[in-house]
């Protein structure tokens, strides 16, 4: 076995630490919801200029663009406080509400690519329709 290169860190095995457990990353215990909450909170905080955990409702369209959701979703469902501002708690409550409309993955509709069999059937149906149209036209003249 060759010793590790001087400028390279030695592996646990080379140090004789074989079988020792690695320390786990503290973030590995976070759930997907925790990560999503941190992401959404960060975007909210970006528009919270005075850092009082409230934003003006006029900032909602900009937040919507960043989160890829339609502005009317938030305008309609997020509650404002007595001052007419949107609180961070209300925004996060909206975001994690299971009944809220979910954002689309993208603005484009997903179109299923037809199979070869479907294409062949479509052409066959078209040929039959064309033949029927030809018969109708021939009878008309």
Express as a percent the part of the chain with pLDDT over 70: 72
Longest dimension (CA), the chain: 97
The pTM assigned to this predicted structure is 0.50
Tell me the per-residue pLDDT of 119-135, one tens digit each, with 9 for 90 and over. Answer: 888 888 888 888 888 88
How large is the average pLDDT for residues 14-34?
61
- Total length of the chain: 141
Confidence bin at 27 (pLDDT 50/70/90) = low
Cα(102)–Cα(3) distance, rounded to whole angstroms? 55
Confidence bin at 60 (pLDDT 50/70/90) = confident
């Amino acid at each position: 076995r060759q010793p590790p290169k001087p400028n390279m860190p030695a592996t646990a095995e080379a140090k004789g630490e074989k079988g020792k457990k690695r320390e786990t990353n503290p973030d590995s215990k976070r759930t997907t919801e925790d990560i999503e909450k941190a992401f959404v909170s960060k975007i909210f905080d970006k528009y919270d200029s005075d850092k009082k955990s409230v934003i003006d409702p006029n900032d909602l369209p900009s937040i919507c663009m960043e989160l890829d959701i339609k502005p009317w979703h938030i305008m309609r469902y997020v509650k404002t406080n007595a001052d007419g501002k949107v609180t961070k708690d209300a925004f996060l409550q909206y975001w994690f509400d299971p009944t809220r409309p979910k954002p689309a993955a993208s603005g484009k509709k997903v179109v299923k690519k037809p199979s070869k069999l479907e294409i062949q059937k479509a052409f066959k149906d078209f040929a039959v329709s064309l033949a029927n149209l030809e018969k109708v036209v021939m009878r008309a003249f």
